[in-house]
Chains A and B, each alone.
Chain A
């Protein structure tokens, strides 16, 4: 039997003075291999051309399409209808500024996060175009890549109670980024410098360790391990500052 899906979608267009936040219902017949990317486009093209949402790669690699799907943050493009009940509720990702309907401004948030954690290789070396590349063990490269896999979708931020309570909390994504640079031998920052960025309540000490973040990460990044890793490193550093003889 073909299922009749009922989508309850959050609607609000801040640019339209007559628009009020509300939930609208749309009906759609389920077809083979239907996912939310196909479904939402069908709804827009056949029922309501003003509906705002974000897709880009439609392949689960760019992070554009995160939204709250039946109460849980996730990537719409890689959510299959057959894994959902017939009643599907879609809400924009909390924690980010609303653009309209299901579309939120993640770009501004992540740019600011990248600035705060200084998400780049810190080095005194100058690039020498004539020289051979610096050697790196393949295992080290693969370890860095593991953490580099984050697609800045924002799911972890929206699932994190701390981030929802305080605007300045950096979130698991930032701590994962820091971990990525800590293990990168090209980055010459010392513990002290990392500490200045994340050794605060905005950073690792604000995290309550409830791990909403890891549960929802569509890339299955080992966020729990990274939080523990950064916490340990920063904890030791904090201890050293209080007990200087430990140095």
Chain B
């Protein structure tokens, strides 16, 4: 059995994982990153639209500053975020983006002079200032007071990830790609590393480290329709949850993106609406401005998704063999704009739908998109419950997004958190030594080895893909955008049953080597546990906040629910144990109205003494 030692083990080589690893490597520590795929294929590369940072260089961003960014973020979160973290985030985003520029990201910059832009289908003029020439520019994204989403054409995440991986190579960060962490090695007090399965050979290894970081991204693939890459199955969250001592925060906070294309669920960027794309219904009429007079198509994405679903429920959607959808119209933006600024969108429509968006409408519907929940950490990125365990990026619940993340804020989170948590980990590595208990390591490995053997030659009856499909269907049907007691109870019951089935799988193939059926069979029980955290958390949260919309509790209830859900899983149980903590300890901005989304609020003031 191979054992690999390092100072820092980063589980995940997307933007968050690599940013942290670089911080450690540049401080002289030995950093190893794991990834299911070569690092540059991590899902971060798929982010098209932009990264938020309050630079205020472009004319429509004039007057922007971290305070305004902070306010937008808190409002966006529907006051579910930790305000201290949101503040650190907004203050540091300008530094992080400039560092990315220094590392080679070719950000689009301000071009002085007149140019036109579209808002809600209307053509408007703006004039960029001469003294800002060459500084990083920004585009408009939903839910923000200023234009703040800095971008590289429509490959922002790609350009950022390539730049960071370049620096990782330069800094000597080791990347072991095609590896999958399948459990954490710990003694209930401290984390010592992970048991890892090699996806090239199927063998198990132990990675031991002084500090371990979980940066495995989102878990969208527990849903059937998700914009996430197919590798986003939540492995990092599962191994944290399975320790029994590390909680996952706000798992019920799941964001849907308004514009996944039908049928493949590939996302077309918010930039489309930001640049003036409109949403049309079956009669090819706009409708968003009716629901949201002020922001129309540009309201925050939980609001747009919900309004779209509402509109489809009024039978104003377009029927198709893949279910009802709406249209997105970008035709008026013109060929030049579409084939340059929105080229990825153009290519997606052509290549995956056979549609030409210069002349045709794009079929879209709300699709699972982002996981606000994740491994609960403190503001330094240290996970609750285990010393030496950290988390950053989409996998973490740090928690700057609360119940709804703003577009462009998650790319920003990966590099800002990467910078801050990276520094904290460096401090931790300087101050701490550790010992590895060989007994704990050995039993951790043995447990996983036994799971593998059982899948090949055990008594199991279930077929892995059938069980996965069952889980995805339950989430789609009962734990979607609009939620209610009846659906959620049903979902929880069904998922409990599916969890049992997931623990009773037997492979149809021989399971040798990099066998994909084995990989899925090892993952699935954990994915169902995540699904249960989402469904059960949603059932118990009796209010509506951000992306969590309860039909039976339509108001946001600051009196009883200004809290974060913490889900723990004790080995052998069939449901998570839920605890709660205050959403924020520091309150810069007391809960108020978001200014969009409608919705009633039960104010905290009404609390009895």
Contact = CB atoms under 8 A, between A and B. Distances in A.
Partners in one complex: yes
Interface of A: 13-16, 32-33, 35, 44-45, 48-52, 54-64, 78, 80, 99-100, 103, 105-108, 110-111, 114-115, 118-121, 123, 125, 127, 129, 131-138, 140-142, 144-145, 148-149, 151-152, 184, 186-187
A107 B46 contact: no
A120 B229 contact: no
A114 B39 CA distance: 12
B159 A145 contact: yes
Given A15-B513, A16-B513, A120-B169, A62 B108 contact: no
Interface residues of A, dominant DSSP = loop
Contacts of A106: 38
A79 to B, nearest CB: 9
Contact of B46 (A45, A57, A131, A186): A57
Nearest to B351: A78
B166 A138 contact: no
Counting chain A CB atoms within 10 Å of each CB, the highest count among B95, B200, B264 belongs to B200
Nearest to B261: A59
B510 A56 contact: no
B367 to A, nearest CB: 13
Contacts of A144: 106
Contacts of B166: 114, 119-121
A12 B489 CA distance: 46
B467 to A, nearest CB: 12
Given A49-B464, A107-B178, A138-B111, A100 B106 contact: no
B466 to A, nearest CB: 9
A132 B135 contact: yes
Interface residues of B, number: 71
A35 B352 contact: yes
Nearest to B174: A111
Given A61-B344, A127-B98, 4 more contacts: A15-B201, A62-B37, A64-B37, A127-B102
Contact of A107 (B45, B177, B515): B177
A158 to B, nearest CB: 16
B25 to A, nearest CB: 13
B515 A50 contact: yes
B23 to A, nearest CB: 12
24 contacts: A45-B465, A50-B516, A52-B516, A54-B37, A57-B45, A58-B229, A59-B348, A60-B347, A60-B351, A62-B43, A62-B46, A64-B41, A78-B351, A99-B178, A120-B169, A120-B170, A123-B102, A127-B99, A136-B101, A137-B134, A138-B111, A148-B155, A149-B155, A149-B158
Contacts of B167: 120
Contact of A49 (B109, B354, B512, B516): B516
A187 B106 CA distance: 12
A50 B516 CA distance: 6
A64 B104 CA distance: 24
Nearest to B200: A99
Contacts of B177: 107-108
Interface of B: 37-41, 43, 45-46, 95, 97-99, 101-104, 106-111, 133-137, 152-153, 155, 158-159, 162, 165-167, 169-170, 175, 177-178, 200-202, 229-231, 263-264, 266-267, 321, 344, 347-348, 351-354, 464-465, 507-510, 512-517
B514 A141 contact: no
Contacts of B152: 141, 145, 148
Contacts of B510: 16, 50
Nearest to B513: A15
Contacts of A99: 178, 200, 514
Contacts of A186: 102, 104
A115 B169 CA distance: 7
Contacts of B107: 133, 136, 141
B99 A49 contact: no
A136 B63 CA distance: 22
A13 B512 contact: yes
Contacts of B352: 33, 35, 59-60, 78
Contacts of A131: 98
Given A16-B513, A184-B104, A119 B169 contact: yes
A48 B509 contact: yes
A187 B464 CA distance: 50
Contacts of A145: 106, 152-153, 155, 159
Contacts of A50: 509-510, 515-517
Contact of A62 (B41, B111, B133, B200): B41
A61 to B, nearest CB: 6
Contacts of A16: 510, 512-513
Q: In the complex, which of the residues A35, A78, A149 has the most CB atoms of chain B within 10 Å of its own CB atom?
A: A149
A50 B508 CA distance: 8
A184 B170 CA distance: 17
Given A55-B230, A56-B37, A103-B514, A111 B508 contact: no
B286 to A, nearest CB: 27
Contact of A100 (B162, B263, B513): B513
Contacts of A184: 104, 106
A15 B512 contact: yes
